[in-house]
Amino acid sequence: MEEKKIVEGIEDRAKIKEVEPETKHIIAISLAKKNQQWDSYFDLTLSLGNYYGQLGLYQEKLRWLLSLEAQIEHIKKENRGLLLNNLGLAYDSLGEYQKAIDYYEQALSMDKEYYGERHPDVATRLNNLGGVYDSLGEYQKAIDYYTQALSMDKEYYGERHPDVAAFLNNLGAAYYNLGEYQKAIEYFTQALSILREVHGEKHPNIAAFLNNLGAAYRALGEYQKAIEYFTQALSILREVHGERHPDVAASLNNLGGVYDSLGEYQKAIEYYTQALSILREVHGEKHPNIAASLNNLGSAYDNLGEYQKAIDYFTQALSMYKEYYGERHPNIAASLNNLGLAYDNLGEYQKAIEYFTQALSMYKEYYGERHPDVAASLNNLGLAYDSLGEYEKAIEYYQQALSILKEVHGERHPDVAASLNNLGSAYDSLKEYYGERHPNIAASLNNLGLAYYSLGEYEKAIDYYQQACNMLMKFLPANHPNIQTIKDNINRLKHKCED
């Protein structure tokens, strides 16, 4: 899913190359600072920082932008918001979302003071705040920021402007993340319509929006439609950029993904391999996008049952991410999860649990307790304990995952359905282990009742609570606190149904 974050400043490599090699650029920055040529110092330092960002060297980008912030009193007021915004983007790229929010909010405050409440730069800051909340899984908050930004740009530019299209696209991305794929498609389609009007049929941003439509249709299971959109995007990008460009690689990765979903793993591997070849040619051996492609290849081999090969790719990706981000980053957590899944498939469940636990810890550190990626890690831990036959523990993890997903996505989302399915599967396994009557079976029935209660499906909840109560009464006295609690739950739900 491509989300447009508006990055300002001199970012075109061609502009950098006017003062390259790199050493000459750094000397020019030093001279400008020494001579107190602050406008020149600002432009050169910002452009170098953003150049490093394009290379995926986010720590280096941050270093240069922080050196610029140290001289902020010498920077023109109209450029201060721009600098703070780019610092926010640097922390955003590193997964340090709270720091990103702090800088975006400073930039927003400064630009409101300089430009007033309704200005395109103010809209950009709101948009970027939306982006970081989107990354944090706070999709409704993201939608609020995107909506404010969209309203402001429509007021300033009118209905048919590229920035309006960008904000419509971002709203689509937030609804996509919420699992509201039809709504996402509506926003992506509106954005695409504006860009075609502005740019014609052949433009990189049109390809980006076609890719997003493809992703939405893939999520809906409409794979042929997804392939059509991804293929259109690929055709445009090849025409605009030639065969060997990172955006071409991204479209090849997307096509690989949809063939992966179709179970055509060899075809997926072909596309992933083409993408990896382009990215290595462009970036060299080490880059976050290369790590992402290695992860994709690992997933395809995992699906093929070639688990050791999958582990090799996941390990390479993990090593590369650590080189770029340090030890703690959401992309590192994703690679740890992938390794956990591969070891789970190999039957090495304790090793899988170690990787899932590391991933869970990292996700909680970055996102907090209530995020879809936290839920995914909890679900994976449930799967591992399920495979080990520790069904009660598995159910606990599934229950936690379900609670988060219901809170984030609401009651009607594929991931919520998958969590319910896992709970049901673990309960069935527990019955095989203990037989039809056991206190632990009763506890699981109670958990299933709680799950359906949280989803608002009260009749189903009552049914599971009643089964749990009946079973416990065979093992415990009728006045036992656990039995009384379940009876209270049943009575409360019956009143709700009557209301």
In tens, the pLDDT along 418-447 reads 655 566 555 554 454 445 565 656 666 776
pLDDT in tens, 112-155: 988 888 888 899 999 999 999 988 878 889 999 999 999 999 99
Output the pLDDT for position 276. 94
The per-residue pLDDT for 56 is 76
Q: From 472, 497, 496, select the one nearest 484 (Cα to Cα).
A: 472
Q: Determine the Cα–Cα distance for residues 6 and 427; give it in Å rounded to an integer.
A: 48
pLDDT tens digit string along 341-364? Answer: 999 999 999 999 999 999 999 988
Per-residue pLDDT, 454:
61
Confidence class for position 164, pLDDT limits 50, 70, 90: very high
Contacts of 104 (CB under 8 A, 6+ apart): 84, 85, 88, 125, 128, 129, 132
Residue by residue, what is the 3-state secondary structure of 255-276?
HHHHHHHCCCHHHHHHHHHHHH
Q: What is the mean pLDDT of residues 455-483?
A: 75
CB atoms within 10 A of CB 349: 19
Task: Give one DSSP letter per residue of 367-431, joined into a string.
Answer: H-SS-HHHHHHHHHHHHHHHHTT-HHHHHHHHHHHHHHHHHHH-SS-HHHHHHHHHHHHHHHHHH
Rounded to the nearest angstrom, the gap between the alpha carbon of residue 384 and the centroid of all alpha carbons in its chain is 23
pLDDT confidence band for 266 (50 / 70 / 90): very high
Label residue 76 left, alpha or beta by phi (over 0 means left) and psi (-120 to 50 means alpha).
Answer: beta
Q: Does domain 1-116 have CATH number 1.25.40.10?
A: yes
214-257 tens-digit pLDDT: 999 988 878 899 999 999 999 999 999 899 888 899 999 999 99
The neighbour count for residue 44, using CB atoms within 10 Å, is 24
More confident residue, 449 or 302: 302
Please tell me the predicted confidence (pLDDT) of residue 447: 66
CA distance 45 to 61: 10
pLDDT for residue 105 is more than 70: yes
Task: Identify whether 162 is preceded by a cis peptide bond (ω within 30 of 0).
Answer: no
The domain limits of the chain are: 1-116
DSSP 203: -
pLDDT higher than 90, residue 493: no
- ∠ CA 382-389-484 to the nearest 5 degrees? 75
Q: How many CA atoms lie within 13 A of 440 on its CB side?
A: 17
Per-residue confidence (pLDDT) for residue 38, from 0 to 100: 87
Residue 268: the pLDDT is: 94
Instruction: Tell me the HSE value of 143 on the side-chain side, using a 13 A CA sphere.
Output: 15
DSSP letter (8 states) at residue 74: G
Is the pLDDT score of 278 beyond 90?
Answer: yes
- Is the pLDDT confidence value at 2 over 60? no
d(CA 427, CA 386): 10
Q: What is the DSSP letter of 46?
A: H
Q: Are 289 and 279 in contact (CB under 8 A)?
A: yes
The pTM for the full model equals 0.72
